[in-house]
Amino acid sequence: MSKGESGVQPTKVPERSVDNKPTIYAFETCPFCWKVRSLLSWKGVDYRQVEVDPMKKSELKWSEWNAVPVFVDGDGTQVNDSNDILHYINSNYEGGEKFPTSGSDGSQDKWMDFSGDILGKSILPVIYNSYSSSRKALRYVADVESFSGLQKWKAIWLGGIIMRMVGKSRGKMFDLPPEENLVHQLTVLSDGFNGDFFGGTLPNGADFANYGILRSMQGLRGWNIVESHAKAGPWFARMQTTTGV
């Protein structure tokens, strides 16, 4: 559980924006971070990513909010929590059509909440289904140049054990077994599509939020479930083409 407040923070932290560019503090495999990355890419924003050590989170020690993503704009504005960050970027950046603001479209709000409350929790027991699939998901750290050898080892081996436990506990939230539950939740998700996207002919906040969650799974255990889903699979492909990530 994160301390601190979600949303736009009262104090600016310009020293935390890399090269004075919009900067996202993230883990490569974090589903919530992919939500933000997909919107930034769709808008064509030139941004920087600081890879946070998933075990110690040392790169985030300066922030009271100690979960990723944290967004720091070029002027130092700090925004916490993925849905708040999506709304901040939507309101403050040009490029692409703007989607409804928070609270102004009940359906968009509902599906944005679904991304974290249900879909984000449904993918974890599928990806982190065994110690070996958990280590596979964490193997990306081997390529992070800023991490030491020991950090990489800990992230893969200790992180693998922790994520396996997290996967198990998230699995208990649902009645169905993990794979069947994911299929079911993708079918529930598809009910929200309004033509090509949740937003109709263009993606809205619900599209970026749910796409990001699923994008974090691409190439990992269970990815075939998303790819082969009759409605969510083609929607995912449309979102990938549209966002370019």
Ligand X SMILES: N[C@@H](CCC(=O)N[C@@H](CS)C(=O)NCC(=O)O)C(=O)O
Enclosing H/E stretch for 188: helix 178-190
68 lies in the site for ligand X, by CB under 6 A: yes
Is there a contact between 230 and 28 (Cβ–Cβ < 8 Å)? no
> Judged by CB, which is closer to ligand X: 161, or 175?
161
Rounded CA-CA distance 111/109 in Å is 6
Close Cβ partners of 7 (under 8 Å, ≥ 6 residues apart):
79, 80, 81, 84
Six-digit token pair at 240? 């990938």
- Cis peptide, bond prior to residue 203, ω within 30 of zero: no
- Write down the residue that tokens 């079918």 correspond to: 187
217 lies in the site for ligand X, by CB under 6 A: no
Cβ at position 127, least distance to ligand X in Å: 11
Rounded CA-CA distance 203/143 in Å is 32
Site string for ligand X, 140-179 (x = CB under 6 A): ----------------------------------------
How many C-beta atoms lie closer than 10 Å to residue 20's C-beta? 12
> In the set 53, 81, 105, 207, which binds ligand X (CB under 6 A)?
81
> In the set 78, 82, 108, 243, which binds ligand X (CB under 6 A)?
82
207 lies in the site for ligand X, by CB under 6 A: no
Number of residues that bind ligand X (CB under 6 A): 13
107-136 binders of ligand X (CB under 6 A): 116
Backbone angles phi, psi at 60, to 5 degrees: -110, 10
Cβ at position 6, least distance to ligand X in Å: 7
30 lies in the site for ligand X, by CB under 6 A: yes
Which of these ranges, 66-74, 135-143, 222-230, 233-241, lies near ligand X under the rule CB under 6 A? 66-74
- Judged by the rule CB under 6 A, the positions of this chain that interact with ligand X are 2, 27, 30-32, 66-69, 81-83, 116
